[in-house]
Structures are given as structure tokens and as C-alpha cells.
Structure 1
Amino acid sequence: MIVAKNDYDLADRLENFAASIILQYSKMPTSYAAQYLAQQLIRSSCSTALNYGEALGAGTLKDQLNKLRITLKELRECLRNLNIQSKAKLLDDEVVNKLRNENDQLIRIVVTIIKNKS
């Protein structure tokens, strides 16, 4: 698990979050539901870091806010996915709790950035 609590660089935290998800699924789950949710979680978690990178390089404030909102949308999707996997007992509770905690913190940070820029 890569999730770091004392890392304050948001780009690194988003990359670490995505890497943690990828490492969690280093072996493909066997059930259809687990595979479906794992693949979607990998896509949405990686999208958070990629869209934040786009926001950092945006030419206008409007474009930057749009990329930040996409980052937020993808983070919320990750959270819903983790909640479903937890309820379906597809992931270990300890793993889910660490990922959800980091996911929640990232959502709060991105929301604050959007509010401050709007």
C-alpha cells in the first residue's frame, strides 16, 4: 500500500492513490463483479491524477476549474466503487478503510481548491 499520510503534494498523493489501487489488483479477481469493479476503479483512480496534471497546465482559469471538477468527479466515483466493493465483501476491510480514508481526504482537498478558485 503506497498511500502516504504525511505527503502534502497533491499531484504525488493522487499518483500514490492510483498506484495503491493498481497494486491492490496486481492479480485479477476471479469473479465477474470483482473484475468489473476493479477495472473501473483502476480507470477512475488513474484519471484523477491525469486530470489534475491537466489542471496544473491549463491555460485559463475556466479550463483549470473544469479539469479540477473532473478530478473531483472521478474521486467521487472511486469512493462509490470502494463502498460497493466493501459492501459486497470483495476487498479486505482494512484495505478498503485505508483507501477510503485517503480518497475522502483527496476529495476534501480538491473541493477546497475549487472553492478558493471560484
Structure 2
Amino acid sequence: MEERKDNIILEKTFSFAVRVVKLYQFLGTEKKEFVLSKQLLRCGTSVGANVREAIHAESKMDFIHKLGVAQKEISETIYWLDLLHATKYLKKNEHTSIKNDAEEIIKIIKSIILTTKKNIKKPS
């Protein structure tokens, strides 16, 4: 995967990170919630960082590994979003909107990993 402006996973993970930062600011300012939101900030912003690292991977296996880390981070992000909703820090519509973005990202990452694994197994 190369780094360019029309790279959908790079664009989506960066936009998602911006949403997470804004949500973190909202939770701290409006809801006075600092513990769960800090966890959300950490994993929600690391997804895009790991995707960017994957672009500069040293090998196909390194690429898969780095995307695997991004997949784990987005999964953890969904956990914190669900917990914030269950504890009434996020309203249903706020939760649903950002969770849908996270679920779209996880599907794209899984697809990229599967496609890359298939391409590795193909005889040259």
C-alpha cells in the first residue's frame, strides 16, 4: 500500500482520529470525564498511526503485522465507545455515528489483510 492522497484507509483513519480527538475534548470539557476518554484517545488515534507505519513496512509480513496492530486498536476503540455509551457519557446518536465509522475501518483493514495474505500465497 502506498502513501497518497486517494488512499481510502489513510483518509478514513486520519478523519477518525480527528473525530476521536474532538470527542475527547468534548468529554473532558462538557462531561468532566477523563479516564475512559483518555483510553479512547490513545487507541483511537493510534489506528491511523499504525496504518501509516504499515505503508512503510519492511516486508509483506511486516505490513500484515502492522495492520494487525491497527485492527486490534480499532477493536479496542469500539470497546471504549461502547463503554462510554453504556455509562451514559455518549448519547445513542453520538455513539452510533462514531461507532459506524470505526466498524467501517475495521472491515477495510480486515479486507486489506486478507487480500495481502492471498497475494503472498499466490505462486509467482
Question: TM-score normalised by the shorter chain: which range applies?
Answer: 0.7 to 0.9
Secondary structure of the 1:112 match is: helix
TM-score normalised to structure 2 length: 0.83
Corresponding position of 2:116: 117
> What code does the residue aligned with 1:20 have?
R
Q: Distance in 2 between matches of 1:50 and 1:35?
A: 22
Q: Distance in 2 between matches of 1:10 and 1:78?
A: 16
Corresponding position of 1:40: 39
Q: Distance in 1 between matches of 2:98 and 2:9?
A: 16
Which stretches of structure 1, 4 residues or more, deviate above 2 A after TM superposition?
Answer: none
Cα-Cα RMSD: 1.4
Confirm or deny that 1:100 pairs with 2:99: yes
Percent same amino acid at aligned positions?
25
Secondary structure of the 1:51 match is: helix
Pair member with larger Rg: 2
Q: Number of residues paired by the alignment?
A: 109
User: Unpaired segments of 5 or more residues in structure 2?
Assistant: 1-5, 118-124
Corresponding position of 1:4: none
Q: CA deviation at 1:25?
A: 2.3
Aligned residue runs from structure 1 range 1-118, under 5 A? 9-27=8-26, 28=28, 29-30=31-32, 34-118=33-117
> What code does the residue aligned with 2:84 have?
Q
Q: Distance in 2 between matches of 1:112 and 1:50?
A: 18
Q: Is the 8 A contact 2:24 2:40 kept in 1?
A: no
User: Unpaired segments of 5 or more residues in structure 1?
Assistant: 1-6
Q: Provide, for residues 81-116 of structure 1, a one-character-per-residue CA deviation record: whole Å limited to 9, x for no partner.
A: 111111111112211110000000101110111111
